Amino acid sequence: MTSKIIGVGNYIPSETITNLFFDKHNFINKSGQSLIESNEIIARKLKEITGIEERRYAHNEQVNSDLGLLAAQAAIEDSGIDPETLDYIIFAHNFGDVRFGTIQSDAVPSLASRVKHLLKIKNNFCVAYDVLFGCPGWIEGVIQANAFIKAGIAKRCLVIGAETLSRVVDIHDRDSMIYADGAGAAVLEINNEDDSGIKSHLSASYTLNEKDYLFFGKSYNNESCPSVKYIKMEGRKIYEFALLNVPNAMKKCFDDSGYTIDQLDKIIIHQANEKMDEAIVKRFYQLYDTPMPEDIMPMVISKLGNSSVATIPSLLTMILKDELASHKIKKGDIVLFASVGAGMNINAFVNKF
């Protein structure tokens, strides 16, 4: 017995933010000094390294739970289920609801509880809770949902990943250009009928030396906002950590599935950095002494940016809804999902569709 994905949905905000949006920003380094390079050069280097040309921001009147609700509604509609039959609603995020123009996070009650309320679910035994696990949060929610189903305490679970990173960025930090907003969701159901579903999974937390590679820190502009904290990262350390650890984790998870590398049809990896993701997947295949196949790794970061927990379920929805011309997932395909992020956390799972 395992669980399978029976419905997916996403919400991609309509407000497109190109790299030109940052042309007038005053980017500052950690020492509080303005960067020597022009913003045009900074934007060009960003595109070369991460692949990002555009990203999406939520409308000013929206908060994160609003985005999650829209993705959840789409996933429920796609699955064809009655939402009253859900046993769990698991909402992966990292910063709660942050209203536009404010600096305070609101996560009480949980975002999952807010979505359940807005879905008008009357079933009191549909348990709603949040997961804070960095960018790998949605995958971790799927792993937890699968565990509930395999344990026999749930039959259907809704897993949401949504974030409004545009509300927690330091406008003086050039890394702010990476982040985006969005939401994705999936409905998982018990499967006793065929061999589709989740075949293996893996999670790990590296905290001894790596805990603060992603953190909440002060603005580089210490004069204008000395007490407010924003999302910060040690980019080079994250890059090196990911290349060293993620391929091995992916291999362990995939080997545990029982499939051979030639049976793998697609890798859906967290859209964090195009070059980093390509390097991770290449190293993964090197562990099998196999070249990385073409079109194995779909990427949408160039247009959607990094929306943290939302990248993987959003991308999965786009593929299953035939919105990416060069990528398809058909019945029987074997797909490896993987993510890395704040914690530092790594996780993965293998699913047969």
At 30, is the pLDDT very low, low, confident or very high (cuts 50, 70, 90)? confident
Rg value, the chain, Cα: 20
Domain 2-194 and domain 198-352 have a common topology: yes
Angle at 350 between CA 254 and CA 96, to 5 degrees: 120
Return the pLDDT at 227.
73
Residue 28 clears pLDDT 90, i.e. is over it: no
What is the fold, at CATH topology level, of the domain defined by 198-352? Peroxisomal Thiolase; Chain A, domain 1 (3.40.47)
Residue 32 clears pLDDT 80, i.e. is over it: no
Residues whose CB falls within 8 Å of the CB of residue 343, separated by 6 or more in sequence, listed in order: 133, 134, 136, 205, 206, 207, 210, 211, 214
C-alpha to C-alpha distance for 328 and 303, rounded to whole angstroms? 19
More confident residue, 228 or 54: 54
Residues whose CB falls within 8 Å of the CB of residue 90, separated by 6 or more in sequence, listed in order: 112, 129, 130, 131, 141, 144, 145, 157, 158, 159, 160
Return the pLDDT at 225.
64
Return the pLDDT at 102.
87
C-alpha to C-alpha distance for 47 and 70, rounded to whole angstroms? 30
- On the question of a cis peptide bond just before residue 299, with omega within 30 degrees of 0, the verdict is no
Return the pLDDT at 39.
83
State what percent of residues in the chain have pLDDT above 90.
82
C-alpha to C-alpha distance for 137 and 2, rounded to whole angstroms? 20
If you average pLDDT over each of 19-33, 42-56, 67-81, which comes out highest?
67-81
Return the pLDDT at 20.
86
State what percent of residues in the chain have pLDDT above 70.
99
Residue extents of the structural domains in the chain: 2-194, 198-352
Residues composing the chain: 353
Find residue 334's DSSP bridge partners: 264, 352
Return the pLDDT at 253.
98
**Type of residue at 145:** A
C-alpha to C-alpha distance for 56 and 59, rounded to whole angstroms? 10
Helices (H) then strands (E): counts for the chain: 8, 13
Architecture of the domain spanning 2-194: 3-Layer(aba) Sandwich (3.40)
Residue 226 clears pLDDT 80, i.e. is over it: no
Alpha-helix residue ranges (DSSP H) falling in 151-306:
235-257, 274-286, 301-304
295, with CB counted inside 10 A (0-12, 13-18, 19+), is exposed
At 35, is the pLDDT very low, low, confident or very high (cuts 50, 70, 90)? confident
Largest CA distance in the chain: 62
Average of per-residue pLDDT across 99-128: 95
Please, what is the average pLDDT of the chain? 94
Tokens of 71: 């993705």
Return the pLDDT at 224.
64
User: Which pairing describes strands 127-131 and 156-164: parallel, antiparallel, or unpaired?
Assistant: unpaired
Average of per-residue pLDDT across 159-165: 98
